[in-house]
Amino acid sequence: MINIKKVGFVFFSALILSVGTLRADEGMWMLPLIQKLNIKKMSEMGFKLSAQDIYDINKSSLKDAVLQFGGGCTAEIISKDGLILTNHHCGYGTIQKLSSVDHNYLQNGFWAKNRDEELPAKGLSVTFLDRFEDVTKEVTEALAGVTEPKAKEEALKTVSDQLTTKAVGENKYLKGRVVSFFGDNQYYLVITKTYSDIRSVGAPPSSIGKFGADTDNWMWPRHTGDFSMFRIYADKDNNPAEFSKDNVAYQPKKFLTISLKGVKQNDPSMILGYPGRTNRFMTSFEVKETSEINNAATILVRGVRQNILMTDMVADPKIRLMYSSKYAGSSNSWKKAIGMNETFAKLKVYERRAAEENTFTNWVSADPARVEKYGQALADVKSAIDGRAKLQFTIKYCTEALNSIELPSAALRFGPKPDEDSREGRGGRPNFSASPSDFYKDYNVATDKKVAKAMITLFKEKVPATDLPDFYKTIGANYQGSIDAYVEAMFSQSVFVSEEKLKAALAGDKKEMENDPAFVTGKNISDAMMKYGKEIEQYRTLYAKGQKQYIAGMLDMKAGQAIYPDANFSMRLTYGKVLNYSPKDGVIYDYVTTLDGVMQKEDPKNWEFVVPDKLKELYNAKDFGQYALKDGRMPVAFLTNNDITGGNSGSPVLNGKGELIGTAFDGNWESMSGDIIFEPSLQRCINVDIRYTLFIMDKFGGAGYLLNEMKISR
């Protein structure tokens, strides 16, 4: 049994799981523990803040100005009237939904000149953190003796509901969820408040907000103005409310002061945000699985699909608008997978993890009591990874290939509802709005048909015949094995190819829709995923048991040292400094880029590097106003060594006084294994300089009036 008191004690220090000494620039730290773990070191580094300035549940603090944006990014409040700043790529999907061929805000940008021109961002919400509460004791007791996965899930939901009710009382605006830390060795209740009336205020054109696109993604030097602005609206009492013309601008507990003083090498920097997932406890067995199965499938399948999408996007501006957001979301993970495999090899991640496991095994073997507690941990993890390899391969290819075909997914979403078991088997499907109008607005039949032919063919080539969904039997029996003929028939006969046909079908006998070829295909895929899921469950259970014991053992082995938990979409603090780096012998990358680099990269024949005429005019006139460097150049981006991952996009980068100096938007290529191992000499966070953001907003976008509601330190 895990010693919860001991685990709790170890929580109050910091641990580096890779070989080496503790470094202040590594760690995604929990806010309630800043006073005990971090504030002394932060003060030594030059931060002028108290722990209460960052996180306080009784008074306003910096955490009240930072929010989760749309579920997958971070944003910050930068004015007294609820103006929020995030990345352009975080707002990309919303901007795309608001766009049309006649009003293409992705291509041309958009700035509301007054509150009435702000555009309702349908389906977008933002979530504030109210507080954390340690509920390890209560949850551990509730889950004692529960081993079956479904029963454990139900028990966790029950205790979570009970704890939430106790914590929030009659406050209908607060919600709670129990979040696991350290592989189910620690639990916190996270209390939040969500606002759903969000409106778009402005964004630069993609030629600025996405400058460099795929080529520059994950790369330094970077010259992207990756930002967009929104506003939160509330009811007359400042509470969350659905969209209404009667709603008013949200009045925040806290908004950030903006600093125009700039940055220099070794300046202290901190980031508050919502990092998504890290795996710093990952074993060598999982490193191999990630590289050889998960990343390999992502690279191959997405590469094929993206080539199809891009060909159609380049040929037709309407299709480009439809698929820009879909393509961007896919290519980001695709390129990350490429970079991760490359850095796994260069940094010898597998070998380093194996060495750590050897150290752990020797430590466990030295004490019979440890052998009893932790002796089976690594063996269980290895058995689970080895046992699930074939299924993991099939599931990954099904998720990446078959689930990326939009027509069968739409058929399941909008057609007759399958039974409960089938719905459970639809994991991994692409996310799109439940509204048919929203879906078909961004759907092109000809493009999806090409994707379908390629994906069904690729899946058949990679997966054993015994694991193929049932529609492959139909291809063999009725279409002489021709995948192209099957796809052509499915698209020509299905009512799900257009909103008009769908509406007509829904007005008739819905039972007939169950025979629709797209619905049948979707159901076959869903059933196959459910089958794979049931077969792999035994390995998930074994893996969870082994991982929990391994992490508990690591905590025990490192008792008295420091530790931070893996990222899990809860708010975290990372602190470090503005810092350059050397990626290889003889090369040193500066910590800052300027508008000079934008002009040097310009290529009018390449859509990724087109520079707007107005930006060139401002550059040639050196009309940079108050945002320029002392030498007259215009700053664009800068580097810090803060520890971030996906979900941190849009996070505020703050100086030693807690003032906003930039917005985090990317990591560098050399740190692509950073979710697994933090590499201090190489890992960097790429940030848009707040001066470039305001310059584009003010001088380029003509929205300087927004400065009037901001608090700016010069």
- Grouping H, G, I as helix, E, B as strand and the rest as coil, residue 35 is helix
For 355-390, give the DSSP string.
Answer: HHHHHHHHHHHT-HHHHHHHTTHHHHHHHHHHHHHH
CA 264, CA 417: separation in Å to the nearest integer? 58
Q: Which of 683, 679, 680, 675 is nearest to 287 (CA)?
A: 675
Specify whether 246 is catalytic. Answer: no
Q: Judge contact between 95 and 123, C-beta under 8 A.
A: no
Q: Judge contact between 688 and 663, C-beta under 8 A.
A: yes
Q: Record the tokens describing residue 219, joined without a space.
A: 């790369």
Supply the DSSP symbol for 257.
P
Q: Judge contact between 282 and 670, C-beta under 8 A.
A: no
All residues at 6 or more sequence positions from 59 whose CB lies less than 8 Å from its CB, including other chains: 52
CA 708, CA 714: separation in Å to the nearest integer? 14
CA 542, CA 689: separation in Å to the nearest integer? 46
Q: Judge contact between 653 and 660, C-beta under 8 A.
A: yes
Residues 437-442: contacts with CB under 8 Å, at least 24 apart: 437/499, 438/97, 438/122, 438/123, 439/410, 439/413, 439/414, 440/498, 440/499, 441/97, 441/322, 442/96, 442/97, 442/321, 442/322, 442/323, 442/325, 442/326
Which of these is catalytic: 649, 651, 671, 673? 649
DSSP run (H or E) holding 529: helix 517-557
> Dihedral of the CA atoms 356, 360, 366, 372 (nearest 10)?
-160
Specify whether 223 is catalytic. Answer: no
Q: Which of 236, 213, 235, 237 is nearest to 223 (CA)?
A: 213
Q: Sign of dihedral through CA atoms 76, 213, 221, 109?
A: negative
Q: Record the tokens describing residue 92, joined without a space.
A: 């990309």
Which of these is catalytic: 64, 216, 226, 643? 226
- Alpha carbon of 503 to those of 409, 415, 433, 507, 665: distances in Å? 17, 11, 17, 6, 41
CA 521, CA 525: separation in Å to the nearest integer? 6
Q: Where are the alpha helices (DSSP H) in 169-250?
A: 206-209, 213-216
All residues at 6 or more sequence positions from 366 whose CB lies less than 8 Å from its CB, including other chains: none
> Dihedral of the CA atoms 148, 149, 153, 155 (nearest 10)?
10
Specify whether 134 is catalytic. Answer: no
- Tokens 């993609």 sit on residue: 206
- Tokens 């409960």 sit on residue: 420
Return the amino acid letter for 490.
M
- Grouping H, G, I as helix, E, B as strand and the rest as coil, residue 566 is coil
Active site residues: 89, 226, 649
